[in-house]
Structure 1
Amino acid sequence: MATSVSHPSEPVQLSELWRDPYPAYRYLREHDPVAWVPEAGRYLVTRFEDIMHVERHPETYLSAENPSLMTRSIGETLLRQDGAAHQRLRRAAEPPLRPRVVKEHWLPTLRRNAEDILAPLVEQGGGDLFHDVAGPFAARNLAALLGLRGVSDADMQEWSQAIIDAGGNYGEDPEIWARCARAVTDLDAAMDEVLPVLRREPDPSVISSMLHADDPLTEDEIRTNIRVFLGGGLNEPRDSMAVAAYALLTHDDQRRDVEADPALWKRVFEEAVRWISPIGMYPRRVAERTELGGRVLEAGDKLGVVIASGNRDERVFDRPDAFDIHRAETSHVAFGGGPHFCLGTWVSRAAVGQIGLPLLFRTLSGLRLTETDVPFGGWVFRGPLRLTAAWSPS
């Protein structure tokens, strides 16, 4: 039976979600699967079935939301567009990210980046896999894919984190808005360097593709969409690589299985993004009066589609809180679905599952954690905050 009551059975605090969202998600899936959360100003959708319903009905659950945290921080992007407007932007950016292009053009670049980052670390015998490996690897790959030149790994990571933090700034922290504004200014300066070059000399990058599409994007459209790509396009592969490394380093039996059968690296990646989804929630807006998960929703109501919760739904996954590369259920919603299915999916699978993780464990011999209580943070975006480890110098 549908209900229009606007309060969950138990309050949800965003600060608690940042520390560890999974107990709250478990409670909401069971008791209030479309729950009003005042701090977020939206209903959180937490069951897999309801998430899939939202994805299958984009005409009812719109991506366009203005004002939104994203549009306030970086402007109008394809993630907040629907229908033809969204498709136009997506078609312009998509060609360099298709599976065939990733395989034929980008794999050598991804492999070279991984080797260049890992080689100097061997003799160190220890470090932080999050800051020393996963972050720089994701940053360097993304700079190449986008077409940015002369931008450091550190700048890419700083700009990306500022954009990510602004996109989840439901607490209205003024310093987060200020950091994002500085990042946008610096990124725009980097764009000023490459736009005229790529207009004259096209290459296989995303910026070049946008400039030379059948329906080319304006420079303002390119700038705003590169900002959103810099956010999700860096943190997702970074955090999925760190999560997968953490999972194997805390599950010795599965690590042995993977090292004995390299074909399992693909499963490691897919299970990692199901287990701790790097992008945990994205917003939608209700277009017309409808019902979802037993809740009556009105036109204009805002949703938070919590894919991190859907990926641990007991109705779909056996032992959902366990990391298990051998599980029978392999489908997940970590990359979303429908018209907004993540553009970077194929690159991430190749960079992390096919290249980054195997090279990490092969290059850093005897890899092991030196910190048993690894800190994690976030709910809109989530991953380890550090991953200190040791290995055997050659």
Structure 2
Amino acid sequence: MTNAPIYEIDPEAFWKDPYPDLKQLRANAPVAFVPQLGAVLITRRDDIFANEKKIDIFSSTQPDGLMTRLMGQNMMRKDGDAHMAERKAIFPTVSPKTVKNVWKAQFIEMTKATLDDLHPKRQADMVLDIAKRISGDALRVMTGLTNMTWQEMDRTSQGMIDGCANYAGDPEIEAHCHDCTASIDSHIAARRPDLQANPDASLLSVQMQAGLSDEQISANIKLAISGGQNEPRDVIAGAIWALLTHPDQLALVQAGQANWMDVFEEYARWMSPIGMSPREIAKPYELHGVSLAPGDRAFFMFGSGNRDERTFERPDQFDMTQDHGPSIAFGAGPHFCAGAWAARTLIADVALPMIFERLTNLRLAGDVPFGGWAFRGPLSMPVAWDI
């Protein structure tokens, strides 16, 4: 059992805004045990960057972890050769070449369809009506589950996210998560015959072609849906909110002094859509005088590391003029997000420029609440525009 200092949080307040607590932890207890989360939080950027690579100590293999129990043992919950074998198997789906040559044109077509449908209405919810649909449609084609609606893609993604963050053990949340994973499995089963006869570049198809087991295929598609839906959804909507509430930053883009990729990278640093990645301590280790013992649970707090005062000039500000290069929004070790290139293309190359071009005089039309610390983003975002 760890001897880490204890830091108490108010779970509700931490969910609404974790940054004040994370700032206190970085300053006074960079390795601390939080009873309400049942884990040791590692909060400084350089500590996360260095230690995430030490897979012999900070193990991703967590057979009793929430993600493994609810979604199966996907490649994120494997280390070493087992992880790399599955990462290699899915690479044909997420490689820069496939994203450019196969998926980007479909991203453009789907985004155009969404904006064409909504444009005459002159108002919508950026999260619920636009970003959710763009993200869901992209995942439908990339996973191969074209028999699933974008609404069901989002529902199942959110259900799994809620399940994996259900550290309080709420039985209703767990039951809903099981319902969502069952839905995904049924859609996988229905698509298999066609992809067996007509293989393509989708995640389901390339895993079948690589000979992965049914369990591996199912777990990795659930992983892709759990992260590949909420993160683009939250970054599309969140980055638009950031630009609309920081007109000086939007002016930089409009003047050509910053580009859409700068928007994406700085927003992902500032409001990390993936705020945490869990690990299990595999052997005794000491960090900042804190002893960690085998079996202890540790959280790499990406959202905290991305606001570390030791690394970033203005960590609490959305400011594209500062260096966001040290950001760890996609991770820092062998588990660096496999879908990073697809996310950058969908959001920075397609969604953001198309939304601002199509929705003239885009503006906020109400309050925009945010929530989450393991996964963070806007919950709703009413907007309006001119015809």
Q: TM-score, normalised by structure 2?
A: 0.97
Aligned to 1:207: 204
Provide the secondary structure at the position in 2 that maps to 1:296: strand
In the TM superposition, residue 57 of structure 1 has moved relative to its aligned partner by: 1.5
Distance (whole Å) between structure 2 residues aligned to residue 292 and residue 355 of structure 1: 42
- Contact map agreement 1:50 1:293 (CA 8 A) in 2: no
Partner of 1:17: 14
Other-structure match for 1:378: 372
- AA aligned to 2:5 is H
Q: Which stretch shows the higher mean deviation, 257-266 or 132-141?
A: 257-266
Q: Of 220, 239, 244, which residue of structure 1 is paired with 2:239? A: 244
Alignment of 1:73-92 (within 5 A): 73-92=70-89
Cα distance in 2 between the residues matched to 1:285 and 1:67? 10
**Deviations, residues 130-161 of structure 1 (Å, cap 9, x unaligned):** 01111010000011001112211111110000
Cα shift readout 1:72-114 (whole Å, capped 9, x = no counterpart): 2111111111111111211111211011111111110111111
For residues 28-71 of structure 1, give each alpha carbon's deviation from its aligned partner in whole angstroms, at most 9, with x where no partner exists. 00011111011221101100011012122122211011201111
Q: In structure 1, what is the equivalent of residue 3 of structure 2? A: 5
What percent of counterpart residues are identical? 40
User: After the TM superposition, which parts of structure 1 deviate over 6 Å for at least 4 consecutive aligned residues?
Assistant: none
Against the structure 1 CA distance between its residues 276 and 50, is the aligned structure 2 distance closer, same or farther, given a 3 Å change threshold?
same
Q: Map residues 186-205 of structure 1 onto 2, 5 A cutoff.
A: 186-205=183-202
Does the alignment pair 1:259 with 2:254?
yes
- The one-letter amino acid of 2:56's match is E
**Which whole-Å CA distance do the structure 2 matches of 1:75 and 1:313 have between them?**
33
**Does structure 2 retain, via aligned residues, the 8 Å contact 1:42–1:302?**
yes
**2:128 alignment partner in structure 1:** 131
Q: Does 2:157 align with 1:160?
A: yes
Following superposition, the deviation at residue 237 of structure 1 comes to 0.8
CA distance in 2, matches of 1:324, 1:270: 11
In structure 2, how many angstroms separate the alpha carbons of the residues matched to 1:329 and 1:291?
Answer: 29
Q: Deviations over 1:186-229 (max 9, x none)?
A: 1111111111221221101111110112xx10122111211111
- Aligned partner of 1:374: which letter? V
**SS of the counterpart of 2:188?**
helix
Question: Residue 335 of structure 2 aligns with which residue?
Answer: 340
Q: Which residue of 1 aligns with 2:318?
A: 323
Summarize the Cα distance change of 1:263–1:252 in structure 2 as closer, same or farther, 3 Å threshold: closer
Contact in 2 for aligned 1:288/1:299 (Cα 8 Å): yes
Alpha-carbon contact 2:125-2:382 (below 8 Å) kept:
yes
Task: Judge conservation of contact 2:265–2:324 (CA < 8 Å) in 1.
Answer: no
SS, match of residue 350 in structure 1: helix
| Structural mapping, 1:38-187, within 5 Å | 38-187=35-184
**Alpha-carbon distance, 1:329 to partner:** 3.9
Q: 2:298 aligns with which of 300, 303, 319?
A: 303
8 Å contact 2:252–2:258 — kept in the other structure?
no
Query: Is residue 2:358 matched to residue 1:360?
Result: no
CA distance in 2, matches of 1:101, 1:94: 9
Is the 2:244–2:363 contact (alpha carbons within 8 Å) kept by the matching residues of 1?
Answer: yes
Residue type of the partner of 2:385?
A: W
Amino acid at match of 2:57: T
Aligned partners of 1:189, 1:165: CA distance in 2, in Å?
A: 21
Letter in 1 for 2:28: H
What per-residue deviation string (whole Å, max 9, x for no partner) do you get for residues 4-46 of structure 1?
63332x4123222111000000000001111101122110110
8 Å Cα contact 2:311-2:326 kept in structure 1: no
1:233-285 CA-partner distances (Å, limit 9, x unpaired): 11111111111001001011111221222861110000010011111101011
User: Scaled by the length of structure 1, what TM-score is found?
Assistant: 0.95
Structure 1 portions without partners, runs of 5+ = none
- CA displacement 1:322-369 (0-9 Å, x = unmatched): 000111343200100221110110000000011100001110000000
Contact 1:14–1:39 (CA<8 Å) still a contact in 2?
yes
Distance 1:262 1:84 in 2: 43
